[in-house]
Structures are given as C-alpha cells and as structure tokens.
Amino acid sequence: MHPAPSIILFTTLSGLGFGLLFWLGIDATAPTGWVAFAFFAIAYLLAVGGLLSSTRHLGRPERALKAFTQWQTSWLSREAWAAVGALTVLGLYAYFLVFFDTQIAVLGWLGAGLAVATVYTTSMIYAQLKTVPRWNRWLTSVLFLATAIAGGALLSGRVSIAMVLLLIAGGIQAWWWQTGDRALRDSGTDMASATGLGKIGEVRAFEPPHTGTNYLLREMVHVVGRRHASKLRLIALVLMMVLPIGLLLVPFSHVFGLLAVISHVAGVLVARWLFFAEAEHVVGLYYGMR
Amino acid sequence: MTQLPTSTERKLGLVIDLDTCVGCHACVISCKGWNTENYGAPLSDQDPYGADPSGTFLNRVHSYEVQPLATSAMPHPAAQLIHFPKSCLHCEDAPCVTVCPTGASYKRVEDGIVLVNESDCIGCGLCAWACPYGARELDQAEGVMKKCTLCVDRIYNENLPEEDREPACVRTCPAGARHFGDLGDPDSAVSQLVAERGGMDLMPEQGTKPVNKYLPPRPKDAWQGQTDVLAPYLEPVAEEPRGFLGWLDKTLEKL
Ligand code: SF4
Ligand code: SF4
Ligand code: SF4
C-alpha cells in the first residue's frame, strides 16, 4: 500500500493524542488549572491535528461530514463518531478541571473509554480488509491499542508504567512483523486464484493492461520501499522502545523525558511507514506483483 | 445505505469468455467512451499526451501466460496466452459497499448492480482498498470514486434501439467474449453458459461471491496423426528427385 504521509501522520499523532487522553481520563488525581490546560492542549493538538491531517487524503474534503452517516456498517464512520464523542466528553471533563479545579470522575472514565474506542475503530479500518492479509488480523488492533496506550503513558509522564508498556508495545510490534510476513501466503490468495487459471498450469503476468501507471498501482502496489524493511524495523524498534526506556532509566529530567517522547514518536512514524509500505494488497497479483 | 440487501430480485452481470477473448481492448475503449459522457463525472486522463500518461478506466484487459504441466502424452506443452478482461464483478457480498462511511456506495435491490452516488462520495478511497479485484479507481480530476455501472444508463434506456440496450463493452466485443444477463435466473442464456462451460469465480476465498463469472479457456487440441480422409492426397508425391534433377543428384553424390 502507498505510504501516504497524511495517513501515517494521522494514525501516529491521533493514536498518541487519544492515548494521552485515556490516561488523563482515568487519572484519580488528575492535574487541575494550568497544568491540566497544558496536558489537554497537547492531547487535543495531537488528536485533532491527526484527524485534520487525515482529511487531506480525501478527494472531496468539503463533504467530510457525510462520513458520520454509515456507522451501522462502516468502521470509518464509527471512528468519526468515537472521536467526536471522546473529544466532546473529555472537553467537558477538562473544562471543569481547568476552570473550576473540579474533577468529574464519571466524565473522565467515559471519555477514556471513548478514547480507547477511537483507537480501536482506527485499527479496524485496516484490520477489516481481507484484501490486505498482513492487516487482516486481530493482532493489528492489539498493536494499535498497545502503541497508543504506551505512548500516552510516556507523554503523561508515568515513568515506570511507561517503561513496562513500551516494552509490551515493542514486543507486540515485533510479533506483528514476524507473523505478518506469512500472512499473504496463508491467506490462500495467489495468482492462480486471482485469475482462476491455476488449474491449467503456472500463471505468469505477460502484459499489463496499460503501459503507464494508474490509480491502482500508485495506491495499492507499493514495492519500492521494501528493500530496506528489516533495517527499518530495527531502527523503528530502537527509536520507539529501546531508546525511550534507556532515557527513562536515568534519573528523571524534563530534557530526557522530552527526548524520550521525540524518539518514541519518530520510532512509531517509521513503524507506521512500514505498516503501509510493506502491506501487500491482493490486487497486485493481477499485475504479477505483490 | 451501505448495508447490503439480503437478496436482490435479479443478479445482473457479465459472463466473460477467456477462451474467446482476443485481447483487442475494444471493450476498454467503448467502456471509456460511453461512460465518460454519460452517468456521473467524466473519466479523466492526466498528462494524456505527455511523458507520464494515466487515466481512469472502468474495465481493463490483462494478458497472462500459462504454462501447462507436462504429461506423458505431452512432454513439452506449449504455453498458452490468455487475455483477461476485468471490470466490477457486482459481488453479492460486496466489501466495497459496507466499508463506505458516507453511503455513497450501494448495491441495488432490484438488479444487484453496485453503484456509487458521486454527490455523496468524499473520495476516501476505502472502497477501492476493500475491493480485491481492482475494480474501483478514484478519478484524479473529480476526486470521487468511479467504477463499472453495468451500463445502467443503457440497459434500461428506452431512447436506445432495442439491440443497444446492453452494456457498451458487450455490444462492442468483436469476438463475442462478453455476455450480459441475469445470473440469478437459472434458465437465462448466461446461466446456461456458465453451467455448460464450468464458469468460475475469481478469488473465491475472499468471500465476495462475485455475480460475474469467467469461462475458463477450453483445452487446446493436439495433432493426432491423420486428421482427414483427403489428407493422403495432399502428401508429397515425389519423395526422391527424378529425371534430370535425379541424375544431377546422383552424379553430384558420386563426385
Ligand atoms: S468487484 Fe470490487 S467494486 Fe465490484 S462489487 Fe466486487 S468488491 Fe465491489
Ligand atoms: S471513496 Fe466514496 S464511495 Fe468509496 S468509501 Fe469513500 S465515500 Fe464511499
Ligand atoms: S458494463 Fe459498462 S461500465 Fe461496466 S465494463 Fe462494461 S462498458 Fe464499462
């Protein structure tokens, strides 16, 4: 799949933002006043910034509101509802924390639940697609949730919890890569089933339907970036897990904390780039590619 | 609504004969021609006369080379070239419909045609991701999703002469490789054809239940020695040169 920067930014930033919102929501001793304002401002910038960035991917962004209508079948529509729900409820929660120093715990819990639901719906947009076997697994949702919650813990300054969660998220990421490499093979879809010609013999793409490129190839058959995949996987793991944990192990200072966050975000961005660049869409088989 | 109908009154679709298709791409052109000036936004091209042309098409023809396995009767079977037209298969369990967040994509109850309501489409592209067959293309000029309409604006069009009320690609095909009809009716000509020729689904494991069927290429016949009673009369008459040429041949041999 084409690694579109707008979508990579969206899943990374909004995942992190909703992860942070989750922790702010369930915090028994939530910050109040200006500290609360700062935390919520960061969370909203990330979450909303990510969402806005995703609308850049649309062919007709001016009609984006229509995406709220099909929540009964569409995960994208459900995501829109969950996101608006989480941002509204937690906005109210934050309003009372910032201006009245009052914590309405029920709102916090509800908002935290909606924040997790938002990340889950995002993950399901990808995990539901049978056409991309590497994504079409329950582990994809686990990966998105683990990454968001670990990142949120890190961003909210929960040092010891963050270290454990980063380790778990990194482990799940490695596991997801490991098992994803055979997903296409295990799916049973290949050139033989795509063309139905496998009964005769071995099928080879002889001539494509068009001499130039097209939307399908640009959007769904991205084979260029896979060459350095294993190196990039290592870089991603080091940046998103190893380095932040190392920085948290030394006595805490805000500079190291900030560096840990930056490193983590950079790592998740690399991992998300691979998430798209390595994903094989079965339509590639019609072109003899994967 | 992007909920799929539990059943449709008819299942209109295409049957594509891989044995007959000659790979001329006439259906590609007639499809583009009809659909660029009828239902919905035109099918745009980008950089059509430049170095890197590309454009929106609803129907495309691939070509495959298939190498049959060797058997004792045929130790060196020749590879076969198969032309493979591909447009939307109007799936019964169309994943492209259920993923759509806006309700722009839908499947019609009356005839099973899968369509896009372009004024509702936000161009998110998710339906194209969900289609295993590459049957949907986002138009780069219009920003909305385009796909085969089964020529819905021809098949019911009373302004066209009777014989033109079928999809443009079917009407055009010079080899008669594309057939149109109701695949939900077991007595229809297309259903009969599918039953007779062992019509197949593409990627059945994806669970989309395509309405369109493909007829597999027939086995190639092989040379079986004498094939016609007149064949002996066509055999070469003189095996050995005679007369002057025979003398020359023998003389040269002796030298
Ligand atoms: S072929 Fe693709 S676009 Fe057409 S109905 Fe099936 S899944 Fe949808
Ligand atoms: S591109 Fe249009 S038709 Fe396709 S899923 Fe998005 S809104 Fe629906
Ligand atoms: S039925 Fe019409 S829209 Fe579909 S491929 Fe044929 S000509 Fe194109």
Instruction: Render pLDDT for B45-74 as a digit per residue (tens, 0 to 9).
Output: 999 999 999 999 999 999 999 999 888 877
Q: Average the pLDDT over A65-79 and give the result.
A: 93
Residue B32 inside a domain? The answer is: yes
Q: How far apart are CA A6 and CA A142, in angstroms?
A: 22
Angle between helices A254-277 and A5-26 (to 10 degrees): 130
Residue B43 inside a domain? The answer is: yes
Residue with the nearest Cα to atom 2 of ligand 2? B121
pLDDT at residue A145 tops 90: yes
B15-to-A36, A87, B183, B187, B211 alpha-carbon distances in Å: 64, 50, 9, 15, 9
Q: What is the pLDDT of residue A289?
A: 86
Query: Closest ligand to B133 CA?
Result: 1
Q: What is the pLDDT of residue A262?
A: 95
Question: Cα angle at B169 between B166 and B174, to 5 degrees?
Answer: 105
Collapsing DSSP to helix, strand or coil, A167 comes out as helix
Residues paired with A90 in a beta bridge: none
Which of A132, A214, A281 to probe by mutation at the B interface, max B CB count within 10 Å? Answer: A214
Q: What is the pLDDT of residue A214?
A: 92
Q: What is the pLDDT of residue B241?
A: 74
Q: Retrieve residue A173's tokens.
A: 């990421």
Residues with CB under 6 A from ligand 2: B 99-102, 104-105, 116, 121-127, 145
pLDDT at residue B5 tops 80: yes
Whole-angstrom Cα Rg for chain A: 21
Domain boundary assignment for chain A: 1-128, 158-290
pLDDT at residue A216 tops 80: yes
Mark A133-162 as b/e (b = at least 16 C-beta within 10 Å). bbbbbebbbbbbbbbbbbbbbbbbeeeeeb
Residues of chain B neighbouring A73 (CB-CB closer than 8 A): 2-3, 97-100
pLDDT at residue A21 tops 90: yes
- Nearest CB among A69, A195, A210 relative to B102 is that of A69
Q: How far apart are CA A45 and CA A43, in angstroms?
A: 6
Q: What is the pLDDT of residue A43?
A: 95
Residues of chain B neighbouring A60 (CB-CB closer than 8 A): 121-123, 143-144
- Given 3-state DSSP classes, what are the helix, strand and coil percentages for chain B, each rounded to the nearest 5? 25, 20, 55
Collapsing DSSP to helix, strand or coil, B42 comes out as coil
Average pLDDT value for chain A = 93
Any A CB within 8 A of B46 CB: no
- Pick from B158-172, B204-218, B239-253: least confident: B239-253
Residues with CB under 6 A from ligand 3: B 31, 34-35, 58-59, 87, 148-151, 167-169
CA of B201 to the centre of ligand 3 (A): 18
Do residues A43 and A21 lie in contact, with contact meaning Cβ atoms separated by under 8 Å? yes
Q: How far apart are CA B192 and CA B198, in angstroms?
A: 10
Q: What is the pLDDT of residue A53?
A: 84
The H-assigned helical ranges of chain B are 26-36, 95-98, 126-130, 152-155, 168-172, 189-197, 243-254
Do residues A126 and A36 lie in contact, with contact meaning Cβ atoms separated by under 8 Å? no
Any A CB within 8 A of B93 CB: no
pLDDT at residue A5 tops 80: yes
Any A CB within 8 A of B156 CB: no
Any B CB within 8 A of A215 CB: yes
State the total domains in chain B: 1
- Nearest CB among B3, B129, B201 relative to A131 is that of B129
pLDDT at residue A181 tops 70: yes
ipTM of predicted complex: 0.93
Average pLDDT value for chain B = 92
Residue B47 inside a domain? The answer is: yes
The H-assigned helical ranges of B18-138 are 26-36, 95-98, 126-130
pLDDT at residue B234 tops 90: no
At B103, the pLDDT band (50, 70, 90 cuts) reads very high
Residue B248 inside a domain? The answer is: no
Residue B92 inside a domain? The answer is: yes
| Top mutation candidate among B57, B59, B107, B114 for ligand 1, by most atoms within 8 Å of CB | B114
At B3, the pLDDT band (50, 70, 90 cuts) reads confident
Please give, rounded to a whole number of angstroms, the shortest distance from the CA of B28 to a CA of chain A: 9
More confident residue, A254 or B124: B124
Q: What is the pLDDT of residue B225?
A: 64
CA of A222 to the centre of ligand 3 (A): 28
CATH code (residue B20): 3.30.70.20
Residue B84 inside a domain? The answer is: yes
Do residues B178 and B184 lie in contact, with contact meaning Cβ atoms separated by under 8 Å? no
pLDDT in tens, A218-251: 999 977 667 788 899 999 999 999 999 999 998 8
Q: Average the pLDDT over A101-109 and give the result.
A: 93
Residue B246 inside a domain? The answer is: no
Residue B233 inside a domain? The answer is: no
Q: How many secondary structure helices (H) and strands (E) does chain A include?
A: 12, 1
- What percent of chain A shows pLDDT beyond 90? 79
Q: How far apart are CA B22 and CA B82, in angstroms?
A: 8
Query: Closest ligand to B85 CA?
Result: 3
Residue with the nearest Cα to atom 5 of ligand 2? B100
A vs B: CB pairs below 8 A: 199
Please give, rounded to a whole number of angstroms, the shortest distance from the CA of B188 to a CA of chain A: 23
- Domain encompassing residue B75: 12-215
Collapsing DSSP to helix, strand or coil, A192 comes out as helix
- Nearest CB among B67, B77, B204 relative to A193 is that of B204
Q: What is the pLDDT of residue B31?
A: 97
Q: Retrieve residue B82's tokens.
A: 């198969």
Q: What is the pLDDT of residue B226?
A: 60
Q: What is the pLDDT of residue B223?
A: 66
Q: How far apart are CA B209 and CA B205, in angstroms?
A: 9
pTM (two decimals): 0.90
pLDDT at residue B235 tops 80: no
